[in-house]
């Protein structure tokens, strides 16, 4: 035994005699992780969160979250002698007088954008592959919680520098709060510490941004990842893979090395972006004052779709009994996102109600094999994209010589027409992909080689695919739709007949698919 080994052994012994961890650690290190590029999206979320914690902590060392007035005396000439908040002045100092400060600010901001993008990508992969099904519904809901926290955390972070752009964002936030019937005005006055912009909002959201919300993130991410650990990761269908096993690389050493290396690559890419691509140059916007605004103001991308919905809302307000209800704010900023997020959170249960499937699932779906779910996903993406386009309508108008009017009407109509259209097209596309799979299994791969038959005609040679591939393409199950008759055996209407009818309809739509190839089909072909 070398001395190093001996030392390590002693240390391990010291710990184990006190908490008896060896058994548990041994078991954990034997865990395997299936390999697939899309399983790294969750990791990107986690790594960018760590990067946010590191860069954010660096910024807190110099940032002063105060709304107190100061006269700027720093090195940035154009703003010298101007009255501004201490928050804005200290952000200028971090950018110009702390070496590496600007780099850290840009790393923090890029990491936030990439964090949100990774969460969305991870969510889509979980959705389209059906990884949210039993027993993983908890993790799905925790994921939606993380996404929601991300929006709030991002909005607050973006508002801290107190520049003209972020102040405008807060003005809009306060208007949204004020629009809440009954209590909105009070909540707004309490949060801001008075009439907008108040005296207390920045220090308050600072505490939320650097302490409370990251703490909540940390707690939820820990549960999220521990559940993945405990329930074991899902895997794509393939030879040797079943609902009863998980095939992959063990934690030590391969997975550890790859995951560790991947952390540095994510960090490196974010640092590279921050080195070469400027993001949020607050010194160009100037300090916030409510009487001014910069044209073309844009929120971060993950807020853009909400802004787009607000922009396309019709000018509806109700005035009655001395009160005002602003539908033009409530619908796009609170009601629609509320419905969307609630629906998303409950989706696993909705789907299992539709299919009547209450079993555990550890093998992932190929999206084409569940056309209805895939189409629903693409439909939702289309909705968000139309909203996002409208959120950038002023930018699009100037860059592509369109009128804002045209883009607005395109969006107002498109938000109703395009998502259903996307649903129909996606569903068809899934079915034709299923047909392609079927052809591949039945007739093999087209080789492009032509041979001349004795009869004189040319035929293309088809090469059969490997048994492994054939298994991948045919191992999914095709559950039939639920049979729910509205009447019982004696022809009497059952209670809940309408509900059953709706459920049967949905179930039928969900079960649409081409019959997959069976081994009998193949035998038949071989006989010919």
Residues in contact with 153: Cβ distance below 8 Å, sequence separation at least 6, in sequence order:
112, 209, 213, 214, 217
Q: What residue number has its CB nearest to ligand HEM?
A: 143
Binds 136: which of other proteins, ligand HEM, none (CB < 5-8 Å by kind) = ligand HEM
Judged by beta carbon, residue 111 or residue 344, the one nearer other proteins is 111
- 10 Å CB burial of residue 319 (0-12, 13-18, 19+) is exposed
Binds 110: which of ligand HEM, other proteins, none (CB < 5-8 Å by kind) = none
Q: For the residues of 291-310, what is the DSSP string, one character each?
A: T---TT----HHHHHHHHHH
Judged by beta carbon, residue 63 or residue 140, the one nearer ligand HEM is 140
Alpha-carbon span 464 to 475, nearest angstrom: 17
Binding segment for ligand HEM among 131-139, 253-261, 365-373, 501-509 (CB under 6 A)?
131-139
- Is 131 one of the binding residues for ligand HEM (CB under 6 A)? yes
Q: Which two tokens stand for residue 325?
A: 């209800």
Judged by beta carbon, residue 46 or residue 333, the one nearer ligand HEM is 46
CB of 362 to ligand HEM, least distance (A): 8
Judged by beta carbon, residue 78 or residue 322, the one nearer other proteins is 322
Contact at 8 Å (CB) between 494 and 486? yes
Alpha-carbon span 242 to 475, nearest angstrom: 10
Judged by beta carbon, residue 108 or residue 503, the one nearer ligand HEM is 108
Residues in 230-289 at the binding interface with ligand HEM, rule: CB under 6 A: 233-234
Binds 249: which of ligand HEM, other proteins, none (CB < 5-8 Å by kind) = other proteins
Residues in 212-231 at the binding interface with ligand HEM, rule: CB under 6 A: 221, 224-225, 228
**Left (φ > 0), alpha (ψ -120 to 50) or beta: where does 309 sit?**
alpha
CB of 458 to other proteins, least distance (A): 32
Nearest to 184 by CA among 313, 192, 198, 328: 192
* 59, 114, 146, 389: which one binds ligand HEM (CB under 6 A): 146
CB of 521 to other proteins, least distance (A): 10
Nearest to 203 by CA among 140, 141, 159: 159
Alpha-carbon span 178 to 188, nearest angstrom: 6
- Is 139 one of the binding residues for ligand HEM (CB under 6 A)? yes
Binds 409: which of ligand HEM, other proteins, none (CB < 5-8 Å by kind) = none
CB of 418 to ligand HEM, least distance (A): 24
Binds 462: which of ligand HEM, other proteins, none (CB < 5-8 Å by kind) = none
Binds 224: which of ligand HEM, other proteins, none (CB < 5-8 Å by kind) = ligand HEM
CB of 454 to other proteins, least distance (A): 34
Buried b (16+ CB within 10 A) or exposed e, 113-144: bbbbbbbbbbbbbbbbbbbbbeebbebbbbbb
Binds 43: which of other proteins, ligand HEM, none (CB < 5-8 Å by kind) = ligand HEM
Distances (CA, A) of 140 to 87, 116, 124, 126, 347: 37, 16, 11, 8, 9
Q: In this structure, what DSSP letter does residue 31 have?
A: -
Extract the runs of DSSP E, i.e. beta strands, from 20-144.
32-33, 69-71, 83-85
The helix (H) or strand (E) run that includes residue 56 is helix 41-60
- Is 136 one of the binding residues for ligand HEM (CB under 6 A)? yes
Judged by beta carbon, residue 375 or residue 472, the one nearer other proteins is 472
* 58, 63, 110, 132: which one binds ligand HEM (CB under 6 A): 132
- Is 41 one of the binding residues for ligand HEM (CB under 6 A)? yes
Binds 185: which of other proteins, ligand HEM, none (CB < 5-8 Å by kind) = other proteins
Nearest to 348 by CA among 509, 121, 138, 132: 132
Binds 264: which of other proteins, ligand HEM, none (CB < 5-8 Å by kind) = other proteins
**Left (φ > 0), alpha (ψ -120 to 50) or beta: where does 335 sit?**
alpha
Judged by beta carbon, residue 57 or residue 292, the one nearer other proteins is 292
Binds 467: which of ligand HEM, other proteins, none (CB < 5-8 Å by kind) = other proteins
Binding segment for ligand HEM among 121-129, 188-196, 431-439, 484-492 (CB under 6 A)?
121-129
Distances (CA, A) of 279 to 103, 172, 275, 283, 388: 10, 22, 10, 11, 19
Which stretches of the chain bind ligand HEM, using CB under 6 A? 39, 41-43, 45-46, 49, 119, 122-123, 126, 131-132, 136, 139-140, 143-144, 146-147, 221, 224-225, 228, 233-234
């Amino acid at each position: 035994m070398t001395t190093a080994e001996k030392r390590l052994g002693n240390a391990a012994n010291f710990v184990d005699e006190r908490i008896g961890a060896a058994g548990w650690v041994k078991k954990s290190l034997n865990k395997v992780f299936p390999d697939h590029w899309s399983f790294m999206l969750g990791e990107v979320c986690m790594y960018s969160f760590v990067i946010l914690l590191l860069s954010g902590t660096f910024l807190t060392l110099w940032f002063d979250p105060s709304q107190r007035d100061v006269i700027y005396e720093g090195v940035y000439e154009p703003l010298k002698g101007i009255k501004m908040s201490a928050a804005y002045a200290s952000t200028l100092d971090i950018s110009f007088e702390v070496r590496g400060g600007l780099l850290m600010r840009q790393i923090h901001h890029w990491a936030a954008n990439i964090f949100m993008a990774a969460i969305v990508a991870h969510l889509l992969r979980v959705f389209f592959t059906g990884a949210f099904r039993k027993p993983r519904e908890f993790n799905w809901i925790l994921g939606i919680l993380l996404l929601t926290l991300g929006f709030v955390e991002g909005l607050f972070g973006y508002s801290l520098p107190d520049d003209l752009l972020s102040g405008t964002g807060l003005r809009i936030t306060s208007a949204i709060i004020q629009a809440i019937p009954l209590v909105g005005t009070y909540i707004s006055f309490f949060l801001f510490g008075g009439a907008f912009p108040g005296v207390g909002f920045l220090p308050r959201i600072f505490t939320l941004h650097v302490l409370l919300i990251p703490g909540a993130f940390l707690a939820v991410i820990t549960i999220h990842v521990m559940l993945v650990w405990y329930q074991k990761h899902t895997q794509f269908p393939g030879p040797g893979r079943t609902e009863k096993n998980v095939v992959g690389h063990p934690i030590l050493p391969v997975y550890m090395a790859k995951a560790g290396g991947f952390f540095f690559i994510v960090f490196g890419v974010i640092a590279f972006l921050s080195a070469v691509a400027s993001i949020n140059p607050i010194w160009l916007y100037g300090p916030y004052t409510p009487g001014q605004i910069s044209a073309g103001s844009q929120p971060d991308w993950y807020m853009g779709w909400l802004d787009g919905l607000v922009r396309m809302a019709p000018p509806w307000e109700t005035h009655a009994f001395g009160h005002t209800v602003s539908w033009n704010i409530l619908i796009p900023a609170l009601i629609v996102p509320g419905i969307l997020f609630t629906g998303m959170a409950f989706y696993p249960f909705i789907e299992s109600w539709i299919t009547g499937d209450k079993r555990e699932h550890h093998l992932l779906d190929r999206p084409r094999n569940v056309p209805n779910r895939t189409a629903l996903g693409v439909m939702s993406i289309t909705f968000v994209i139309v909203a996002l386009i409208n959120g950038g309508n002023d930018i699009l108008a100037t860059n592509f010589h369109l009128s804002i009017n045209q883009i607005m009407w395109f969006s107002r109509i498109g938000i109703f027409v395009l998502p259903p259209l996307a649903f129909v097209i996606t569903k068809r596309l899934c079915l034709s992909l299923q047909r392609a799979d079927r052809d591949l299994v039945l007739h093999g791969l087209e080789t492009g080689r032509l041979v001349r038959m004795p009869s004189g005609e040319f035929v293309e040679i088809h090469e059969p695919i490997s048994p492994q591939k054939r298994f991948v393409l045919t191992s999914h199950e095709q559950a039939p739709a639920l049979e729910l008759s509205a009447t019982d055996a004696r022809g009497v209407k059952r209670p809940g007949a309408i509900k059953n009818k709706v459920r049967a309809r949905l179930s039928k739509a969900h079960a649409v698919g081409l019959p997959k190839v069976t081994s009998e089909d193949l035998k038949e072909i071989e006989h010919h």
